[in-house]
Each structure stands twice: as structure tokens, then as C-alpha cells.
């Protein structure tokens, strides 16, 4: 009985976490877009989206363990790879711009 | 949210995420309030001077607020090349971002004909400028600035006129629209500090010589002989609307503009 209620609490909390991840990603994008958009805004949006999603999924992956929550870890790994890809692109673009500038 | 708390104990992660949500909402509100998008418009500003009264601009920009970054750039290309004509703005007008409206005009320049230096910060009528922008956008007398994205950037042109004897005028212009928003006079003064700075601080006479070295000799001779000397440019009309009437009527007819 005890174990069962712990399991139920975990299920409810994880459900709430999913909702909060969606809400926070939405709010992060809202924050990035409330002022006028410059030309590179789409690019900036992808970075915000990837960054915030990875960060929030990381919390999920490190909090909920067990077979039923493994998908969270997979999603986190996937978003981490995508974010790192973006990050690498960003560094490449800035160093390229820097080289071009010089 | 209430039914969840009644039935469950919220764990630490969810508490952190709730705090994060609140922080993001607060940050977004602060960002909106700081940006003041409702006070921002597209505009372009250039300077003109009478052909027979060449000047050398040392500094010219608008202040748009109290912060250090709150200023708007002014194009002085025509004046620099001594190709400026009274009442004519720079041919290529562009507006990239929406900016807050100017509150003050900072001007620092030297005049060729009287060899004097002028420098001042002038107060502009904020309310009047805001009202002209609002009514221009409403009455379709705004200018459409070209932009690559195809999105319409509608706004107005400021034109700063620097006439002889330190007379300053500022027009606000659109389609079938020209309003004088400022008229004033700056007194000449002895240049101080960096006012004669060109690569380094120069003596007054050297600075003036340097600034006007590209002014053609024929023009210099003409001006030195006293040509067009007593004209009061500040009161001469620009004929801006008459000059552009045909163009605008054509553009309206062909739906290039609203």
C-alpha cells in the first residue's frame, strides 16, 4: 500500500513536470519574442527552444528513474545532441564571421 | 493547480519549475516595460544645408531617452560631400528597427562662410512628434521604408535643416505631409576641447581648412566673393509637397503606396 502511494505520487508529479516543461518552454520563447524581431530572430528562437528544452528535460531525466520513465532519458539525450549541434554551429558561425571580419 | 496540491505532495523539481515559470513571466513583463514598443516607430533622419552655406558636421544625433544607448543616428552624407540642397533629404532612406522618438537634438558643426563653430543640445516637442506619427499612420500619410522581408515598415522622415547664422529647423515628412516641428537659433562660440578633433586636436584654423579642403576651389572663390550672402534660408519654403505630388499621385494610382 505504501509503495503503491509512492508510485502514484511519482506518476502525478511526473505528469505535472511534463506540463511545466511545456509551459516553461513556451514562456522562454515568449520572453525571446516580445520585442521587435531582427532578421536573425528565427535562428535565435531555435537556440532558445533547444536550450530550454534540454535544460528542462535534464531535470526530468535526473529526477524520475525506472522503466516507465526511460523515455524521458531518451528525449533528454536526443535534445542534448541537437543542442550541442546548434552550439557547434553557432561557434562555427561566429568564428567564421570573426575570420571574415579580420 | 489547487486540486493537484490537495491530492499530492509536489516534489522539488516541480517546485523549481513553478518558480522558473513565475520568474519567466516577471522577466517578460520587465522586458516589455523597458522596451516600450508603443513608443517606437520607424524613421530616418538626414541633414540638409543651403548649397551656398556649406558646413562641416562634427556631431549630429538624436537623444531618445535617458539611457546611454538611447540615441538615433542621423545621416549627414549630403552635407559631408557638399552636395546638399536646402530642403532636400538624403535619397536613400532606410529604417531597420523601430526606435523611440527623439527628445533632443545634439548638433555640433562649423560653418565655412563665417568660419564659426556652433554647438548645442536642442529640446524637441515630444508630444507633437508623437501625435504627428500617430495621425500619419492612421491617415495613411506615412512613408513605406523598403525592407527585404516584404514586411511593410511604415514611418516618417526627419529632416534637419542647418541654415546660415546658426538657424536650425526640423521638419517631419511623409506622403503629402510636411510639418515644422522645431525652429531655433544657435549662437556661435569659440571651439572647445574635441570640437576641432580630426585624427587629433587641431587649432581652429587648421581644422576649418581640413574640413573644407574637398570643397571645390571654384565654389570657394564664388562664396568668398560674397555670392548669395544675405539670404535668409531659414524662412525659405521647401516646396516638398509640390515637388513630390506627381510622384505620389502616380504611386497611389498604381497602388505602390496606400
**Assembly ipTM:** 0.87
Give dist(CA A90, CA B151) in Å, integer.
27
Strands B71-73 and B55-63: antiparallel
Contacts of B152 in chain A (CB under 8 A): none
**pLDDT number for residue A96:** 85
**H or E element in which residue B141 lies:** none
Mapping DSSP onto H, E and C, the string for B66-113 reads CCCCCEEECECHHHHCCCCCCCCCCCCCCCCCCEECCCEEEEEEEECC
Q: Do B16 and A27 touch (CB under 8 A)?
A: no
- Local confidence band at A89 (pLDDT 50, 70, 90 cut-offs): confident
Cβ-based neighbour number of residue A9 at 10 Å: 15
Q: Do A12 and B8 touch (CB under 8 A)?
A: yes
Q: Do B97 and A36 touch (CB under 8 A)?
A: yes
Judged against a pLDDT cut of 60, whether residue A1 lies above it is answered with no
Nearest Cα residue in chain A from B15: A17
Q: Do A28 and B7 touch (CB under 8 A)?
A: no
pLDDT tens-digit profile of B125-152? 999 999 999 999 999 899 988 766 556 7
Query: For B155, phi and psi rounded to 5 degrees?
Result: -165, -155
**pLDDT number for residue A99:** 79
From chain B residues 159-198, the ones with a CB under 8 A of any chain A CB are none
| B149 touches A40 (CB < 8 A) | no
Q: Residue B236 in 3-state DSSP?
A: coil
Q: Cβ of B14 under 8 Å from any chain A Cβ?
A: yes
Residue ranges per structural domain of chain B:
2-35, 40-253
pLDDT tens-digit profile of A23-46? 999 999 999 888 877 667 777 888
Q: Do B9 and A9 touch (CB under 8 A)?
A: yes
Contacts of B67-70 spanning 24+ positions with Cβ under 8 A: B70/B100
User: Which burial class, exposed, middle or buried, applies to B170 when counting CB atoms under 10 A from its CB (0-12, 13-18, 19+)?
Assistant: buried
Regions of chain B with pLDDT less than 50: none
**pLDDT number for residue A3:** 60
For chain B, what is the mean pLDDT? 90
Distance from CA of A100 to the nearest CA of B (A): 23
Domain span holding position A78: 2-101
Amino acid at each position: 500500500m505504501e509503495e503503491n502511494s509512492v508510485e502514484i505520487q511519482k506518476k502525478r508529479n511526473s505528469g505535472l513536470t511534463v506540463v511545466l516543461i511545456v509551459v516553461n518552454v513556451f514562456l522562454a520563447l515568449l520572453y525571446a519574442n516580445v520585442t521587435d524581431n531582427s532578421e536573425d530572430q528565427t535562428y535565435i528562437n531555435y537556440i532558445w527552444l533547444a536550450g530550454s528544452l534540454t535544460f528542462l528535460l535534464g531535470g526530468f531525466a535526473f529526477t524520475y528513474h525506472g522503466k516507465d520513465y526511460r523515455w524521458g532519458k531518451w528525449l533528454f539525450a536526443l535534445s542534448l545532441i541537437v543542442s550541442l549541434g546548434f552550439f557547434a554551429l553557432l561557434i562555427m558561425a561566429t568564428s567564421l564571421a570573426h575570420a571574415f571580419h579580420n | 493547480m489547487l486540486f493537484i496540491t490537495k491530492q499530492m505532495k509536489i516534489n522539488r523539481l516541480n517546485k523549481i519549475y513553478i518558480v522558473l515559470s513565475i520568474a519567466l513571466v516577471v522577466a517578460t513583463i520587465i522586458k516589455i516595460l523597458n522596451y516600450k514598443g508603443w513608443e517606437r516607430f520607424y524613421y530616418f533622419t538626414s541633414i540638409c544645408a543651403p548649397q551656398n552655406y556649406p558646413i562641416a558636421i562634427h556631431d549630429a544625433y538624436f537623444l531618445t531617452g535617458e539611457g546611454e544607448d538611447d540615441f538615433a543616428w542621423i545621416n549627414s552624407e549630403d552635407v559631408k560631400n557638399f552636395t546638399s540642397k536646402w530642403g532636400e533629404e538624403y535619397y536613400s532612406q532606410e529604417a531597420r528597427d523601430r526606435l523611440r522618438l527623439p527628445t533632443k537634438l545634439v548638433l555640433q558643426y562649423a560653418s565655412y562662410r563665417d568660419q564659426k563653430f556652433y554647438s548645442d543640445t536642442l529640446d524637441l516637442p515630444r508630444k507633437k512628434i508623437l501625435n504627428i506619427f500617430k495621425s500619419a499612420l492612421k491617415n495613411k500619410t506615412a512613408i513605406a521604408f523598403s525592407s527585404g522581408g516584404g514586411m511593410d515598415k511604415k514611418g516618417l522622415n526627419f529632416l534637419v535643416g542647418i541654415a546660415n547664422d546658426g538657424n536650425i529647423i526640423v521638419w517631419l515628412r511623409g506622403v503629402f505631409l510636411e510639418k515644422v516641428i522645431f525652429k531655433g537659433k544657435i549662437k556661435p562660440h569659440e571651439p572647445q576641447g574635441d570640437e576641432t578633433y580630426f585624427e587629433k586636436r587641431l587649432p581652429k584654423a587648421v581644422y576649418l581648412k581640413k574640413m573644407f579642403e574637398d570643397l571645390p576651389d571654384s565654389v570657394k572663390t564664388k562664396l568668398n566673393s560674397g555670392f548669395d550672402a544675405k539670404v535668409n534660408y531659414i524662412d525659405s519654403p521647401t516646396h516638398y509637397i509640390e515637388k513630390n505630388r506627381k510622384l505620389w499621385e502616380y504611386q497611389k494610382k498604381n497602388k505602390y503606396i496606400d
